[in-house]
Structure 1
Amino acid sequence: MRLDKFLCTTLGITRREAGKILKDKMVEVNGEIVKSSSLKITDDCDVEFNGRSLKLTGPQYYMLNKPSGFVCSHIDDFNPTVFVLLDIVSPEKLHVAGRLDGDTTGLVLLTDDGQWSHRITSPRHVCEKTYYVEVADPLEESAIELFANGVELRGEKELTRPAKLEILGEREALITITEGKYHQVKRMFAAIGNKVEALHRERIGAVELDEELEPGEYRELTAEEIASFMK
C-alpha cells in the first residue's frame, strides 16, 4: 500500500491532506522522516505521525469509565465530550453503544462496529444494564415488586419492561433494566415518588466496568467481552 493511502486510511484524511503532512515532515517510517507519498508500506513497517504509531486495524472496541460532566456525543456547545478522553487516532470514527446522561457516571462502550452496537442498543435484543443508584428518600420494599411489574412513565403509553431492584441500604440500590428509554432510571424512581441523586452504570450485558479504571480512563475490550454480545 502506498504511504499516502495508508495515511488516508488510518487518519481518515484526504490524499491532499496526507501530502501536506508528508511535506511538513510529520511522518516517520522505521524511524526516518519520509516525504514521498508513493513509498510502499508493508506489514513490518513502523509508521508514526507526530510521534504516534499508526496501524491498520479492524473494528475497535473500548470500555470507558465515564466521569460526571461529560456527554456521550461528538459535539456539544456547553460540555466536554467523552471522545476527548481518548488518546487514539481518529476518535471521531467511534460512537457510543448506549449513552449516559451528562451527570451519570460509569461504564460506556465505544466502537466503530455498527452491527455490534446494534446488539446492545436495539429493543429487539434484550441487553441488561445494571446501575448503582442513590436516591433522596428512603427506599421501601414495595418498590421491588413495582419495578418487577413495570411502572408507568410520564408521557409513555406502555409500562416499562420488568426491572430488577436490589435494595442495598436505606437510600441506595442496584437496578437492572433491559431497555433504554430517555432518562429511564431517573424517571422510574420519579414515578414512585423518589428522586435519583447519583447514578453509576456498572454492567452492560456480561461486561462489567473494570474496577482498575479511574474516572476518565479506558481500555480495549477483550475478545471474550466483544463476543459476549454476539451470542
Structure 2
Amino acid sequence: MVRVNGVVCPEGAFQVGPFDRVECGSEVLQARVARSLMLHKPLGVVSATSDLEHRTVVDLIGEPWATELHLAGRLDRFTSGLLILSNDSSLTEALTEPGRKLGKRYRVTCDGDVTPEIVVAFEKGIWFAKEQVATQPAQVELLSGRQCLLTIYEGKHHQVKRMFARFDVKVTALHRETMGPLSLDPALQPGEWRMLTADELQLCSFHRAEKA
C-alpha cells in the first residue's frame, strides 16, 4: 500500500528524502516541494523570516509557502543584492558552510579612496580582535578611487564595513553581486525574485558533492 514517488515500496527501512512524495493507500503522508530562489534584496529590508518592526525578505516573496524558507547567509538592512532562500537545508549549507570557503563578491562604495595600503592589507588579511581571528585573504578589484569589487571568503558580522573602518574609511553603499557559484540575475529589480534554474541548482549540487 505504500508508494514513494509513485512506486510501491515494500522495504520498511527505505530511506525517504525530505522532498519524496509518500503515500499509503489514498492518503498522502508527505508531499513537500523543494523550492530555492534568488532575491534582489533592496535597502531597508531585513534578512529574516519575521520582524516586529521592519519588512522582511519573506514579506517580499508574498507566497504562502515562503514561511518554509530559510536564508543562506544574511545581508544587513542597509546592504542590497543577492540573497538565496530555500527550504532545502543541504543547498543552504553548501553555500554557507565555512569549510567550503566560497567567495562572496561585493560592489563597495566608500567616502574615501581605496588606497594601495588598503588593498595590500585586505589581500593579506585583517585581524579582528573581537573574534580573535584574521580574515581570509580577500580579492580587490579597483573600479575607481572610491569604488571597488571586494571578494571575501567568510561572513563575519559587518565584515566589509569593519575592514574599511580599520582605515577610517566609511562604506556608503554595499551591494552583493555573487555568492559561491551563483550571480545575481541582472534582470531582477530590487525586491524581485525568481526560482533558481536547473543549471544553478546543478552548480550548488556540484559544490555539495565536492565537499563530500
Give the TM-score taking structure 2 as reference length. 0.80
The answer as to 2:60 corresponding to 1:114 is no
Quick check: 1:129–1:201 contact (8 Å CA) kept in 2? Answer: yes
**Matches of 1:103 and 1:156, distance apart in 2:** 23
Q: What is the match of residue 170 of structure 1?
A: 145
Amino acid aligned to 2:203: S
CA-to-aligned-CA distance 1:117-173 (integer Å, 9 cap, x gap):
011111111111000010111111222211111012241311101100111111111
* Larger RCO, structure (CA 8 Å, separation 6 or more): 2
**Corresponding position of 1:226:** 201
| C-alpha distance in 1 between matches for 2:32 and 2:202 | 18
Report if aligned partners of 2:50, 2:58 keep a CA contact under 8 Å in 1: no
Return 96-105 or 190-199, whichever deviates more: 190-199
Provide Cα deviations, 1:163-192, integer angstroms capped at 9, x if missing partner. 001111111110001101111111111122
How far apart in 2 are the matches of 1:189 and 1:227?
Answer: 35
Contact 1:153 1:191 in 2 (8 A): no
User: Is 2:160 aligned against 1:191?
Assistant: no
Match of 2:68 in 1: 93
Task: Provide the rounded CA distance (Å) in 2 between the counterparts of 1:129 and 1:107.
Answer: 10
**One of 91, 99, 111 as aligned partner of 1:136:** 111
Instruction: Confirm or deny: 8 A CA contact 1:72 1:82 kept in the other structure.
Output: yes
Q: Distance in 2 between matches of 1:70 and 1:78?
A: 10
Contact 1:143 / 1:165 at 8 angstroms: preserved in 2?
no
CA distance in 1, matches of 2:120, 2:76: 26
Q: Structure 1: any 5+ residue segments left out of the alignment?
A: 1-39, 43-55
* Higher normalized strand content (fraction of residues): 2
Contact 2:108 2:175 in 1 (8 A): yes
Rounded Cα–Cα distance in structure 1 between residues aligned with 2:112 and 2:159 = 18
Q: Does 1:160 align with 2:141?
A: no
Give the match's secondary structure for 1:90: helix
Distance 1:57 1:141 in 2: 51
Return the alpha-carbon distance in structure 2 between the equivalents of residues 75 and 58 of structure 1: 22
Q: SS of 2:122's equivalent?
A: helix
> What is the aligned residue count?
179
Whichever residue aligns with residue 227 of structure 1, its letter is: Q
Alpha-carbon shift at residue 216 of structure 1 (Å) = 0.3
RMSD of aligned residue pairs (Cα, Å) = 1.7
d(CA) in 2 for partners of 1:155, 1:218 = 35
Partner SS for 1:201: strand
Letter in structure 1 aligned against 2:169: N
Q: Distance in 2 between matches of 1:88 and 1:165?
A: 38
Matches within 5 A, 1:24-103: 58-103=33-78
- How high is the sequence identity, in percent, across the aligned residues? 39
Out of 188, 191, 200, the position equivalent to 1:216 is 191
Deviations 1:81-136 (A, max 9, x none): 01111132321100110100001000000000111101111111111100001011
The answer to whether the 8 A contact 1:152-1:191 is kept is no
